[in-house]
Amino acid sequence: MSRERTRGMCGLSCADDCSNYSLTKRNDPKELETSAKQWSLEDGTEYTVKDIICLGCWEDDEKVASCARKCAVRGCARGKGVDNCGRCVEYPCYTIKELFNRYSASAEGMVQFLNIPLGTMK
Q: Could you list the residue range(s) of the whole structural domain that residue 52 is in?
A: 4-114
Length of the chain: 122
pLDDT at 18: 84
| Mean pLDDT in residue range 106-121 | 71
Q: How many Cβ atoms sit within 10 Å of the Cβ of residue 58?
A: 19
Residue 86 lies in a domain: yes
Report yes or no: 3 and 101 within 8 Å, Cβ to Cβ. no
Max distance between CA atoms of the chain, in angstroms, equals 43
What DSSP character marks residue 7? B
Residue 106 lies in a domain: yes
- pLDDT confidence bin for 1, thresholds 50/70/90: very low
Residue 17 lies in a domain: yes
pLDDT at 102: 84
Residue 48 lies in a domain: yes
* pTM given for the model: 0.77
pLDDT digits 0-9 by tens, 59-76: 888 888 888 888 899 999
Kindly give, in sequence order, each residue whose CB lies less than 8 Å from that of residue 56, ignoring residues fewer than 6 positions away.
5, 6, 8, 14, 21, 64
| Mean pLDDT in residue range 9-16 | 86
| Mean pLDDT in residue range 23-35 | 92
Residue 119 lies in a domain: no
pLDDT surpasses 60 at 2: no
Report yes or no: 35 and 20 within 8 Å, Cβ to Cβ. yes
pLDDT digits 0-9 by tens, 86-100: 899 998 899 988 888
Residue 94 lies in a domain: yes
Domain count, the chain: 1
Long-range contacts of 23-28 (CB under 8 A, 24+ apart): 23/52, 24/52, 24/53, 24/54, 24/55
Residue 37 lies in a domain: yes
Residue 38 lies in a domain: yes
- pLDDT confidence bin for 108, thresholds 50/70/90: confident
